[in-house]
Amino acid sequence: MGYPLPLPAAPVVPVFETLTERERQVLFWCCHGKTASEMALLLRCATSTVNFHMNNLHAKFGITSTTYIAAISAARGLVPIEVPQHLAPAKGLRA
């Protein structure tokens, strides 16, 4: 007698679609290198509130590294990232 077969998995909703508006805002600023204190000023809330939303992001993504969450989000195009002018390649030059 073997193990019972697992039940079919429910459709997986992409993590980004489950984020609240505030979690998306925190993720956006996180991807732009802002600290929790800076985000709190930008979002007009307490630093503890920003940390609360960051903890929610960690749980939803299943990743403990904020940097890795930001990298994945930027790489997948979930958060628009603009390259600062001083880091953008000059016109006419190949990157």
pLDDT digits 0-9 by tens, 15-61? 889 999 999 999 999 999 999 999 999 999 999 999 999 999 999 99
Give percent above pLDDT 70 in the chain: 81
pTM: 0.76
What end-to-end distance do the CA atoms of the chain give, in Å?
60
Level-2 CATH architecture, domain 18-77? Orthogonal Bundle (1.10)
CB 40 within 8 A of CB 46: yes
CA torsion angle for 29, 32, 37, 38 (degrees, to 10)? -90
